[in-house]
Amino acid sequence: MTAPADTVPPAGTGAGLRARLLRALSHPSMQARAARFPFLRRKVRREGEALFDLVQGFVSSQVLLAVVELRLCHRLMEAPAHPADLVATTGIPCDRLTQLFQAAAAVGLLRRRRDGLFDVTPRGAALTGVPGLEAMIAHHGAFYRDMGDPLALLRGDGPTELAELWPYVFGPGRDEDPVRARRYSRLMEDSQALVAQDTLSAVSLSGVRRLLDVGGGTGVFAEAAATVTPGLRATVFDLAPVVDAARERLDAGAHAGHIETVAGSFRSDALPDGHDAVSLVRVLYDHRDDTVAELLARVRDALPPGGRVIVSEPMSGGAVPDRATDVYFAFYTMAMGTGTVRSQARIAAMLRAAGFEKVRRHRSGRPYVTSVVEARRR
């Protein structure tokens, strides 16, 4: 099959040369021949490994899930062990458990010692300490089932399990079950610690007296902001069942007197005013462009001229696609139903269209945790 004429650059241009080279590299005989040249051999091997890594990604993820479900890193942090030591408590035959230990060592979570015992590596120890990470890994079953047929997901055929897990994206009405709201709030709460840490190291809130955290969940970000900003008072705005859970959490914490909660929907209610900054942490990527445009208009209306809006969430790499956000978060938000990851440039454009100026895109140290864009109301 030949490519359409407009995709094939004229012969003799650099792009034409590149297209011919790529076509040649797709032939097995050419791949074998390239591997015979010492200066190409390393490149050929690396490309093979990179392709194999893509092929086996799901299997590695499921090894990780088994490690998490068995609390293997926790157990081995107490004392190094041989797989045989865990047969009785796990109910897994020794030969299979040995395979799991080997696999976990191969992906860098465990280390096989000379005496045949296994212990954890710094990576395995870090896995147990990253707040919310094990809960996130454990809930991936729903996501992976949605990814089981990626073309159906891309076409938007049928319901997805993640949409059931995060029902609030469909708006009030689907989100009144308090047990369900508590469950998703807990997942967000657990994974918020790193996001708050990176957001607050990207932006300084000094000078902000009143912060409104829209879609603030159970108030973890508001608390973190109050902790690093003396004198800051915050308001958490979220749907009624989430706000109930927030109040319960906040009342037991150190900043209860400094953090108010207001229940409402940003789809139908005006946002509370009297704040000099508004944060939107992991909120926009849950929603379609029209919902986001309306929300940003409400944020603008709630702020005084010069007031700040801070957007923090995993963002697409845009012109330079990013592995964590353009793969994992893009498909995660797609499976949620209405969400999408947007690049910093796209969010900046939406902010400008909503009446904001002086847009700043902060460089992210960990795009897989969050990226930040802030702006001022005109």
In DSSP terms, 115 is beta-bridged to none
Contact residues for 151 (Cβ-Cβ < 8 A; gap 6+): none
Of 2-10, 79-87, 122-130, 148-156, which segment contacts ligand LPSJV3QT by CB under 6 A? 122-130
**166 touching ligand LPSJV3QT, by CB under 6 A:** yes
Taking CB atoms within 8 Å and a gap of at least 24, the contacts of 251-256 are 253/223, 254/223, 254/227, 255/222, 255/223, 255/226, 255/227
Q: According to CB under 6 A, which one of 65, 87, 92, 133 is a site residue for ligand LPSJV3QT?
A: 133
Q: How far is the CB of 368 from ligand SAM (least distance, A)?
A: 15
Tokens of 98: 């040995």
Measured between alpha carbons, how far is 76 from 120 in angstroms, rounded to an integer? 6
90/364 with CB nearer ligand LPSJV3QT: 364
User: CB of 219 within 8 A of CB of 258?
Assistant: no
Report the nearest approach of ligand SAM to the CB of residue 213 (Å): 7
CB of 63 to ligand SAM, least distance (A): 28
Q: What is the C-alpha separation between 208 and 67, in angstroms, rounded?
A: 44
By C-beta, is 307 or 339 nearer to ligand LPSJV3QT?
339
Position 332 contacts ligand LPSJV3QT (CB under 6 A): yes
221 or 332: CB nearest ligand LPSJV3QT: 332
Backbone angles phi, psi at 359, to 5 degrees: -75, 130
| CA-based torsion, 338, 344, 345, 347: positive or negative | positive
Contacts of 302 (CB under 8 A, 6+ apart): 212, 270, 271, 272, 273, 275, 278
CB atoms within 10 A of CB 119: 17
Q: Which is nearer to ligand LPSJV3QT, 144 or 368 (CB)?
A: 368
Q: Which of the stretches 2-10, 130-138, 214-222, 351-359 binds ligand LPSJV3QT when contact is defined by CB under 6 A? A: 130-138
H helix runs in 306-354, sequence order = 323, 330-336, 344-353
- Judged by CB under 6 A, does residue 217 bind ligand SAM? yes
According to the binding rule CB under 6 A, does residue 283 interact with ligand SAM? yes
Cα(111)–Cα(124) distance, integer angstroms: 9
- Residues that bind ligand SAM (rule: CB under 6 A) add up to a total of 20
Which of 109, 212, 242, 311 is in the footprint of ligand SAM by CB under 6 A? 242
From the list ligand LPSJV3QT, ligand SAM, none, pick the one residue 221 interacts with, judged by a Cβ distance below 5 to 8 Å according to partner type.
ligand SAM
Per CB under 6 A, does 191 bind ligand LPSJV3QT? yes
Judged by CB under 6 A, the residue of 40, 51, 126, 297 near ligand LPSJV3QT is: 126
Query: What residues contact residue 211 under an 8 Å CB cut-off, 6+ apart?
Result: 205, 222, 225, 232, 233, 234, 235, 275, 276, 277, 278, 279
Number of helical H runs and strand E runs in the chain: 18, 9
Applying CB under 6 A, the residues found at the interface with ligand SAM are 168, 171, 188, 192, 195, 215-217, 220-221, 238-239, 242, 265-267, 281-283, 286
Applying CB under 6 A, the residues found at the interface with ligand LPSJV3QT are 122, 126, 130, 133, 136, 166, 188, 191, 282, 286, 332-333, 368
